[in-house]
Structure 1
């Protein structure tokens, strides 16, 4: 009998690159570090967005959130939902003869779009219990003689509902060990500023990370004990960056450049892969591994723009074509956190287009209540991670960063581009790339003259003149005598971009 091509997908909640395999000194993640040594560690893996539900929908559907309709958080009063017609991984693999399941955090909907056969939604941080439920799922797959696609949604290391907690005082199975971290010894990420509240929260954050890592170890052991490790493609990733100001909900790299590990049966081990991958590539990779008949490659008629990572899994050098840029979009976090941004990132440069730049940047409720934010707002220099608070909350319509010289994205080069031809050419090129990608993905937030081009294209096609600029200019409102929009194409007719 041929081996079953199983899939285990593990997703942490609000985890940054605080893993030993990514150079973190706290040794909080021995199981994940072992997984990295056993498989492939990507250094340039990017979420499409830095918010939980939207990022998970990207993983499960292979579509950016402005394509799928999962514009913001699914839970509670936010209640954003994926469009009914979207095909998800669980639906595709159910039809392909797989047993599909999810244990732990779900945070996407509606259920009919994400029809996991086994759905054990839970808010527990007891990773031993989560592992036991995963074990029961593996036994069910064996009893039904089916290959499986199992998703594990860890709650850790998300904040709890206290001001500075990460669930560390909950009751856990005795198999879960409590490992505390010294606030004086924790490293402070570059995107944050030092302070007593920051240190207290980072110490608690590391404890939560370590607990999640124990859960990874438990689940991988369940695979091993059943003889499934050699038949199972394993992923580990995070939905978005750490739950602190200047990271989560932003499209700066601190919010989207995340840990991403893969272990493929018979595949490479101990590999560090520097190529740029996007979370839209996850579902095509799973479909490729499962030998699903659905196309896994870019197709003019397909809304899934990602590609299978499997052909480049063993690469240790930067490939010169295709895997050299990523795109992403953020629209909402909470329903009151409206601040649409689109970005394109190459290996060296990052371009942000802020569609609602006249609004101040909104803060997520959990970050607003944190001790870290209290430290920052009461500091004398009024900066966070070297960024002025004024620049954080009041951003311009465009941002351009040279990430080789400025990895923290502090020095916006848009003004420099007006007088420097080299920088100007970079800016024009990335503007054009982002514009083409927004057209290809039928993005309602492709704005011209301050309005969605998608929703007024029929007027332009009928002869209405529309200024070819992103924002409406009240001091120069005329539409006559200006460069006008002539290209209103969207969708499959546009040159393909991820």
Structure 2
């Protein structure tokens, strides 16, 4: 008997931008996905919500931006999952679908994946479903994960075949990373072909809607972890069999320009299955009877690995707007895991040696408050139009759209991690987290206008710790730029009891000439504090302060064996900086301790030959 509801198959590749033949990449060998695109619909501007896996997967699972459910926006946070938030496998199971996941989870919260799925494992498959049940199946491959470029992957694509993006130097390490990546993309395509062949072999292809996408973009420098198209842009291909063609409003083989987001998948699954949209979804369906067209998709980044760098972005069919809420930090902060790549090592080596062009050197500089790029004319996003009067109207329009979005989703990214304001109840309390006021204050902070110093100082006794934090951030940003700090800053630091605010004030004082005293304070704090995220914030502040005292070295050295992966990475980097032994090729990421930790985001088999340093 014919099914009354379609099956849904999601085939997902890790860390994969749209470097496919279907997207016009002539070097990519992707016959299976190109065939899928020819039989389906491809979205030219598909974005994830965060340029790293865990927050992105939270958004897919819940249909909500991770920053609306803190601390899910922070990389590997595992915070409490609030009651009352739906997940798509639970909703579909309740309606009779057999739901399987093969096999990555890493949902960035404390939810037990085994409670969501009928089966989640390396053997989970629709073939195990009860007779007659429709299925929703996810297959994920790590063949293209960032770690694939840490070692050479041979194949038909060679170093000399690739084209290096214009914002990167043309080095052997970068070329090898890109060539290895293309070779892994070919293997990934074969994996996808096997899943599609299984549909045909089982006789269910005509009853199955296939979604192909990635969790985020490429592992090259300035890609993963960053809010450009290379980090947020993903492929999105959907094949709808002829029986269900009424769910589409375009013909097969079409390339659609209307933006879509991975946060839209939950609503889209419901739409194609004929189910009602659930309460609280922030995404919207892009196929099926409930489809709606977007003008913008939104995303951002918060803590990535061991580094803090708050960014929010809006992408239309043509433009990308970026707002940097940490303009006092350079793009090229050191990430222990990413620096396992020869591409990052080569890039920093060339930076240190002074061999970079101004376009390439930009990555190692502090950021502007705002960026605007015409992607149609500048696909590499290298010409910032934010100050160009010809684009003033576009800037204002997109700026307003981003502000509205942050308010609509109740963006909690402005709340410092591990602070008392981070909890689900606290962040909904207007007294604790006055979001509209916070957004306005953060906007003043990133403007870095010294005329606001008195205003920042006046807010250092605000009852909301979040307001105090952003007042402190405003002073820190000015201190980094060399601006004079008012004398009352020290008394504010002495009376502040919230650690996240005090750390920011400590760094500001350190930049304002009190480096030795503040280095000693932060060292003592790191040695006595038990919360790893507070220790991490202090480590980051200590790393950025000028002339940190060598008295911190014994404490920092003691943290390279820490239980927390990110504390280890930050401490290992800082230790080498303090010793004067750091080189871009320094081995800082600890595979031995990483394996022992049983990290749920990256299984041990992701590093088959990287067991020693």
5 Å matches for 1:306-345?
306-311=283-288, 322-334=293-305, 336-345=306-315
Q: Normalized per residue, which structure has more strand?
A: 1
**Take 2:56 and 2:439, find their aligned partners in 1: how far apart are those partners?**
34
Report the Cα offset of residue 148 of structure 1: 0.8
Structure 2 alignment gaps of length 5 or more: 246-250, 416-420, 459-613
Report the Cα offset of residue 49 of structure 1: 1.4
Aligned match for 1:272, one of 229, 248, 255: 255
**Take 2:438 and 2:343, find their aligned partners in 1: how far apart are those partners?**
49
User: SS in structure 2 opposite 1:350?
Assistant: strand
Report the Cα offset of residue 346 of structure 1: 2.1
Aligned to 1:357: 327
Higher relative contact order (CA 8 A, sep 6+): 1
User: Is 1:471 aligned to residue 454 of structure 2?
Assistant: no
Is the 8 Å Cα contact of residues 63 and 263 (structure 2) preserved in structure 1? yes
User: SS in structure 2 opposite 1:208?
Assistant: helix
Aligned to 1:287: 270
User: Is 1:400 aligned to residue 372 of structure 2?
Assistant: yes
Distance 1:405 1:221, change over 3 A: closer
**Take 1:310 and 1:38, find their aligned partners in 2: how far apart are those partners?**
15
Report the Cα offset of residue 84 of structure 1: 4.9
Is the 8 Å Cα contact of residues 466 and 479 (structure 1) preserved in structure 2? no
User: SS in structure 1 opposite 2:160?
Assistant: coil
Is the 8 Å Cα contact of residues 288 and 308 (structure 1) preserved in structure 2? yes
Normalised by the length of structure 1, the TM-score is: 0.78
Distance 1:291 1:455, change over 3 A: closer
Q: Deviations over 1:104-149 (max 9, x none)?
A: 3222243447734344445xxxxxxxxxx35xx22211x3431111
Distance 1:469 1:205, change over 3 A: closer
Report the Cα offset of residue 369 of structure 1: 1.9
User: Is 1:138 aligned to residue 109 of structure 2?
Assistant: no
**Take 1:26 and 1:203, find their aligned partners in 2: how far apart are those partners?**
10
Q: Deviations over 1:261-298 (max 9, x none)?
A: 10012234212111111112111110111222334xxx
Normalised by the length of structure 2, the TM-score is: 0.64
Q: Which structure is larger by alpha-carbon Rg, 1 or 2? A: 2
Q: Deviations over 1:444-476 (max 9, x none)?
A: 2369xxx99968843898xx9997662346653
Distance 1:81 1:23, change over 3 A: farther
Is the 8 Å Cα contact of residues 43 and 236 (structure 2) preserved in structure 1? yes
Aligned to 1:490: none
Is the 8 Å Cα contact of residues 106 and 153 (structure 1) preserved in structure 2? no
**Take 2:367 and 2:80, find their aligned partners in 1: how far apart are those partners?**
28
**Take 2:430 and 2:60, find their aligned partners in 1: how far apart are those partners?**
31
Aligned to 2:138: 151
5 Å matches for 1:144-223?
144-160=131-147, 164-165=150-151, 179-223=155-199
5 Å matches for 1:48-447?
48-69=49-70, 70-74=72-76, 79=78, 82-108=81-107, 109-112=109-112, 115-122=115-122, 133=123, 137-141=125-129, 143-160=130-147, 164-165=150-151, 179-266=155-242, 267=245, 268-295=251-278, 302-311=279-288, 322-334=293-305, 336-361=306-331, 362-379=333-350, 382-383=355-356, 387-416=359-388, 420=389, 422-445=390-413
- C-alpha root-mean-square deviation of aligned residues, in Å? 3.3
**Take 2:311 and 2:214, find their aligned partners in 1: how far apart are those partners?**
21
User: SS in structure 1 opposite 2:45?
Assistant: strand
Aligned to 1:171: none
